[in-house]
Structure 1
Amino acid sequence: MVSRRNRTLLSLTVFLGVLAWSVAAAAVKGETETPVGNLTVHEIEEQLQECPLVQALNQHKVTANPSTSSVTSQIFAFLFPGSPAVNALLATLYISGPPNFLLALCPPNIDPSSLSVMVAFAVGGLLGDTLFHLLPEIFLGEDEHDKVKFVMVEPNKNLLLGVAIMVGFITFVAMDKGLRIATGGQGGHDHSHGHSHEQIEASAKTSGIDTGNSKDALRARKPAANGATPAVTEPEKEINPSVKMGGYLNLIADFTHNITDGLALSSSFYASPTIGATTTVAVFFHEIPHEVGDFALLIQSGFSKRAAMGAQFVTAVGAFLGTCIGIAVQEFGGNSSSAGVSGPGLMGTSLQWGDMLLPFTAGTFLYVGTVAVIPELLETGPNKGQELRKTLMQFAAMFTGAGIMLAISWS
């Protein structure tokens, strides 16, 4: 291990070496060299890599940290073998297909509140991906194995990135609030999709599904023609129109939410393959309770199992739409790491429009992982022993999800 004193001396040596090399290069090239103020961040980084001292540090980094191909990296390389655009589309297919096919195995009467442990696992994955991958990438960039990394501090750049994070967060607040207004204050679309048992039960009673103590729910007896024991028949379910409308509003919210998932995948793959792969894992684990919860809500809204599955596949189109929008923004809006991007960026910084998608994604993930889910995990019942066991399982699942993200980032 390198001591703090040695690290300080090494940093000072790098600074002096870069400064000396820059002065020497400017003296040799004279006035024919492009003014520093006209260089892009990418061009400055390329010129820094030509410094002999920096090249020596690069060699030392490669020697001290030899490249190894882990099992995780091999799996990611197999799943995502193409360009950022192709990988983003493949990732969208991965997170949209399997969770929807799993619905065929779900019983129609599944209680979404039973998914709390799975939801907690998804929360850990989302927050782990945001804190361990997205935010470091947004503000510091992705580390490279064979090169030392220089971070250029620009006035107002970090402020704009923070604004993009807040815009992503507020966008989901506005969407959730709008859906609560549309449903008459009955509760908007819960992005954790772990709808409470009481909410589903109330919907069922309103729609006539619950046969509790209602007189209308008594079994009707048909008189038999031959005088035999009357046959017992079940009354037809009558779904309240407001409950049906809630199901359709849920589909609209699900479609919108899937668009943001597609934006997240496209922006992360253009940032780096590692960020893209880990974001895919986080979104995938979130999609499973997401889809199962929506499936249960649609069943309670009067959908048949086949119709509910078909509706979920239709909403998956939103993820592909969001991915295509993200790819278009990255390809035509550019980002600060692209060699072909030149000229001033947003508000005098080096940021391009493509650089704003990743912080926007981080803001949406923060909302989904906290505001939309934590209140559900805080719900408790009267049985203290049972609630304590469930809470321990939830925390274990949450730490497991976050630990997976940390292990991927660490290695």
Structure 2
Amino acid sequence: MSILQNILLVTILAGVVSVLIAASFSLGLLSKMVDNMVSVSVGILLATALLHSLPEAFSFPDTKPQILFGTLLAGLLGFFLLEKIALLRHSHHHEGDGHEHHHGHDAEVAGRSGWMILVGDGLHNFVDGVLIAAAFMANYEVGIFTAIAIIAHEIPQEIGDFMVLLNAGFSKGRALLYNLLCGLSAVLGGVLAYFFLEKAHAMMPYLLVIASSSFIYIAVSDLIPQMHRRPHWAESLRQTVLIACGVGFVLLLSQAS
């Protein structure tokens, strides 16, 4: 097969396999424990952003830390503004909670509530596609091992994404469909990198930073405040342990890859 055919095949597999493996966990046993898994999601999202994506972005040559930090700030403020104008609002009222919402308000809000995490996931997968393409253009074996490593580090992130979507009110089918579509953005990244590798490579650190800002914003502005609604000592200890489990899961698979 040609290099382009290899890139297409492997980016499709990489985009789909990690989602399906994550779904086998998230949509099975874990979906019955969504409230408990919010804490794990916080650990996974923060660890993915702070211990994987951001260090990778800062490792690119000729990148200025001030510009990357500025991009991170712009990403956080951008998601705040999007949420503020209700385009990507991420709230969790309940009908009958004493607030005067129209009937169906919460279903309507829930239908929009997972979009921020999907934006970040799509950007992250796009960067993965660029990495796979660059590896194949260097060497076939390097491309294969790069794809395996990407699938390994994508699994915990995808589990975190599923938990956020389920917690936001998405059905299992919609959560799976949208994550698969985001996974296929790796194909777009791979194809564009094949034709415009230099330009695509220059964009990668900034896309990684914006994706990280999505994960950080979701964890800090939405999930952690939910956890604070249960302030008992026993609950707080359990949440801390589960956050540590999420961080450990990312670290474990990062070492394995």
TM-score (norm: length of structure 1):
0.48
**SS of residue paired to 2:63:** helix
Aligned partner of 2:123 among 260, 275, 279? 260
- Is 1:384 aligned with 2:233? yes
**SS of residue paired to 1:188:** coil
Could you tell me which residue of structure 2 aligns to residue 236 of structure 1?
none
CA contact (8 A) 1:179 1:188 kept: yes
Q: Aligned letter for 2:174?
A: A
**Structure 1 residues 289 and 316: CA distance shift in structure 2, 3 A:** closer
Q: Aligned letter for 1:182?
A: A
Whole-Å separation in 2 of the counterparts to 1:333 and 1:164: 22
Residue by residue over 1:125-178, the C-alpha shift from the partner in whole angstroms, topping out at 9 and shown as x without a partner, is 443322554533x22xxxxxxxxxxxxxxxxx434x874675476346424521
Say what the alpha-carbon RMSD is for the aligned residues: 3.9
**SS of residue paired to 1:203:** coil
**Structure 1 residues 330 and 172: CA distance shift in structure 2, 3 A:** farther
CA contact (8 A) 2:7 2:191 kept: no
- Is 1:373 aligned with 2:213? no
- How much has 1:358 moved relative to structure 2? 2.2
* Structure having greater relative contact order (Cα 8 Å, sep ≥ 6): 2
Q: Aligned letter for 2:231?
A: P
- Give matches, 1:178-327, under 5 Å: 178-182=82-86, 188-189=89-90, 200=92, 202-206=93-97, 240-250=103-113, 252-253=115-116, 255-272=118-135, 273=143, 276-298=147-169, 308-327=171-190
Unmatched segments (≥5 aa) in structure 2:
136-142
- How much has 1:353 moved relative to structure 2? 0.9
Aligned residues: 241
Could you tell me which residue of structure 2 aligns to residue 402 of structure 1?
251
Could you tell me which residue of structure 2 aligns to residue 7 of structure 1?
none
- Give matches, 1:125-164, under 5 Å: 125-130=48-53, 133-136=56-59, 138-139=60-61, 157-159=62-64, 163=67
Percent identical pairs in the alignment equals 10
Whole-Å separation in 1 of the counterparts to 2:24 and 2:238: 31
**Structure 1 residues 108 and 387: CA distance shift in structure 2, 3 A:** closer
**Structure 1 residues 402 and 359: CA distance shift in structure 2, 3 A:** same
Whole-Å separation in 2 of the counterparts to 1:124 and 1:387: 19
**Which moved further from structure 2: 385-394 or 322-331?**
385-394
TM-score (norm: length of structure 2):
0.71
Unmatched segments (≥5 aa) in structure 1:
1-81, 140-156, 190-198, 208-238, 300-307, 335-351
**Structure 1 residues 111 and 170: CA distance shift in structure 2, 3 A:** same
Aligned partner of 1:355 among 201, 206, 215? 201
Whole-Å separation in 2 of the counterparts to 1:285 and 1:298: 20
Which protein shows a greater Rg? 1
- How much has 1:91 moved relative to structure 2? 1.0
Higher helix share goes to which structure? 2
